[in-house]
């Protein structure tokens, strides 16, 4: 087992700074997920760790060893590439076994490990086929199999589930999580899917234009984002951002949005932000923090009632998303199945102002 440490890692392609000054420590046995929008440098960073790209600056340390000058094959890493990179003239069995044979594993053990991985991945019946005789999702599973049969120091996954259908993706996500629990190996996993990141990670590393915007435990990032970018990236459906202004009076501080919506802040938050009265703010509220009003809930100070006209209803079965306009913005609320029967109804919703995320529009940072 080995942890990973990156210090000041930089990588440019000509004038494009793909990775810009990344510092990151991943503990032994930790499952770290690199996440971020397309082009933010996830694959490049993974390739720098694997040694497939030479870094322009900084150090890559695996366990206690600085590996900047160590060839990729000598870093003892197992990697699943975004584009599979299977050997076209080898069948599935040979592809999965390749890394084991290269390390002179006894044939009986190779066969047993390949079997186990293939069965786990649901490709046990495909062992004699060539890659071109497989679907994209099957190729992806072969690539995963090739990595997990190995006894590597570090496992690197680049979007390993992107070509699977929704159901298989859910199953494989569970398998990968189980695999991590069983093996206890350090894993670095790239995805642009925030749900995958939330469910798999011990630690999420959110990249933006080649730099780390925020890292931490999934719930930390979700509940305490540092910026508008982080708040928007995590959560589905995404957080609502409503333009407003801090308004102070003798009793405390509120956020006013548009003409007639005023949301008082809970006492402690109000006290801490009193100096901001009169300045602009973006009120960030996740759909699940705007709920239908119930008699019991209404007594809580931080749940602020507001009357809205629901103009769009999206039932999901257990829940119902209702959209309404506020301060010129379309806002989504997570309601219960029968809170609204049809569009056009006016109902009272509760804004959870304890969990609301307040953002300074001047720099898009959380206040
Ligand atoms: N070989 C290359 N030559 C030139 N530019 C590159 C090369 N590889 C990547 N880039 C650029 O570096 C940036 C980061 O690319 P990278 O592939 O790491 O992004 P990514 O986060 O993995 O994106 P995706 O989610 O689409 O896979 C992008 O702007 C990309 O165009
Ligand atoms: Mg990529």
What mean pLDDT is reported for the chain? Answer: 91
- At residue 287, does pLDDT exceed 60? yes
- At residue 66, does pLDDT exceed 90? yes
- Ligand 1 pocket list (CB less than 6 A): 13, 16, 18, 38-44, 82, 192
Residue burial 85-111, b: 16+ Cβ < 10 Å; e: rest: ebeeeebbbbbbbbbbeeeebeeeebe
Q: Whose CA is nearest to atom 30 of ligand 1?
A: 39
- At residue 296, does pLDDT exceed 70? no
Task: Give the Å distance between the CA of 38 and the centre of ligand 2.
Answer: 7
* pLDDT (tens digit per residue) in 165-179: 888 888 888 888 888
CA-to-CA distance for 21 and 8, rounded, in angstroms? 4
What is the predicted pLDDT for the residue at 2? Answer: 63
Structural domains of the chain, with CATH: 4-233 (3.40.50.300), 244-366 (2.40.50.100)
Q: Any idea which residue has 């469910």 for tokens? A: 199
Query: 46 by DSSP, 3-state: which?
Result: helix
* pLDDT (tens digit per residue) in 111-125: 999 998 898 888 999
Q: Whose CA is nearest to atom 27 of ligand 1?
A: 38
DSSP state string for 247-292: EEETTEEEEEETTTEEEEPPHHHHHHHGGGTTSEEEEEE-GGGEEE
In the structure, what pLDDT confidence band is assigned to residue 137 with cuts at 50, 70 and 90?
confident
In testing the pocket of ligand 1, which one of 10, 11, 13 has its CB within 8 Å of the most ligand atoms? 13
What is the predicted pLDDT for the residue at 339? Answer: 86
Task: Give the Å distance between the CA of 209 and the centre of ligand 2.
Answer: 13
In testing the pocket of ligand 1, which one of 10, 17, 43 has its CB within 8 Å of the most ligand atoms? 43
Residues with CB under 5 A from ligand 2 (ion): 43
Residue 134 in tokens: 């497989």
Q: Any idea which residue has 């990729």 for tokens? A: 72
What is the predicted pLDDT for the residue at 60? Answer: 96
- At residue 32, does pLDDT exceed 60? yes
Q: Which atom of ligand 1 is nearest to the CA of 44?
A: 18
Question: CB–CB of 229/218 below 8 Å?
Answer: no
Task: Give the Å distance between the CA of 144 and the centre of ligand 1.
Answer: 22
CA-to-CA distance for 326 and 242, rounded, in angstroms? 7
- At residue 1, does pLDDT exceed 50? no
Task: Give the Å distance between the CA of 11 and the centre of ligand 1.
Answer: 11
Q: Which atom of ligand 1 is nearest to the CA of 42?
A: 21
Which one of the ligands is nearest to 36 CA? Answer: 1
- At residue 345, does pLDDT exceed 80? yes
What is the predicted pLDDT for the residue at 297? Answer: 59
What is the predicted pLDDT for the residue at 57? Answer: 96
Beta bridge pairs of residue 240: 285
- At residue 355, does pLDDT exceed 50? yes
% of the chain beyond a pLDDT of 90? 69
In the structure, what pLDDT confidence band is assigned to residue 352 with cuts at 50, 70 and 90?
very high
Which one of the ligands is nearest to 192 CA? Answer: 1
In testing the pocket of ligand 1, which one of 9, 15, 16, 45 has its CB within 8 Å of the most ligand atoms? 16
Reference 221, options 35, 12, 23; nearest CA is 35
Instruction: List the single range of 90-99, 168-177, 277-286, 290-299 with lowest mean pLDDT.
Output: 290-299
Question: CB–CB of 170/161 below 8 Å?
Answer: no
């Amino acid at each position: 087992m080995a942890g990973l440490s990156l210090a000041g890692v930089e990588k440019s392609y000509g004038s494009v700074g793909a990775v810009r000054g990344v510092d990151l420590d991943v503990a032994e046995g930790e499952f770290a997920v690199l996440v971020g929008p397309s082009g933010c440098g996830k694959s490049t960073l993974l390739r720098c760790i694997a040694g497939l790209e030479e870094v322009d600056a900084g150090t890559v340390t695996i366990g206690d060893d600085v590996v900047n000058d160590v060839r990729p094959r000598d870093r003892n890493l197992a990697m699943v590439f975004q584009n599979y990179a299977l050997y076209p003239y080898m069948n599935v069995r040979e592809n999965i076994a390749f890394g084991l044979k290269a390390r002179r594993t006894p044939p009986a053990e190779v066969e047993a490990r390949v079997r186990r991985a293939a069965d786990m991945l649901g490709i046990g019946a495909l062992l004699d086929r060539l890659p071109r005789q497989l679907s994209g999702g099957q190729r992806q599973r072969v690539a995963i199999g090739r990595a997990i049969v190995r006894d590597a120091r570090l496992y690197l996954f680049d979007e390993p589930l992107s070509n699977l259908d929704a159901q298989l993706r859910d199953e494989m996500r569970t398998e990968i999580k189980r695999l991590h629990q069983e093996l206890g190996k350090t894993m670095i996993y790239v995805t642009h899917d925030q749900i995958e990141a939330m469910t798999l990670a011990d630690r999420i590393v959110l990249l933006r234009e080649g730099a780390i915007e925020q890292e931490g435990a999934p719930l930390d990032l979700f509940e305490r984002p540092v910026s508008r970018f982080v708040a928007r990236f995590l959560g589905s459906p995404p957080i609502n951002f409503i333009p407003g202004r801090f308004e102070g009076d003798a009793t405390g501080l509120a956020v006013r949005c548009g003409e007639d919506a005023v949301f008082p802040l809970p006492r402690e938050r109000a006290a801490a932000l009193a100096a901001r009265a009169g300045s602009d703010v973006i009120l960030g509220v996740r759909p699940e923090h705007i709920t239908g009003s119930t008699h019991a809930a209404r007594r809580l100070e931080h749940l602020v009632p507001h009357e809205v006209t629901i103009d769009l209803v999206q039932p999901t079965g257990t829940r119902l998303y209702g959209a309404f306009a506020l301060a010129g913005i379309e806002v989504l609320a997570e309601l219960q199945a029968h809170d609204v029967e049809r569009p056009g109804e006016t109902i009272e919703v509760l804004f959870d102002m304890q969990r609301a995320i307040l953002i300074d529009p001047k720099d898009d940072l959380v206040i």
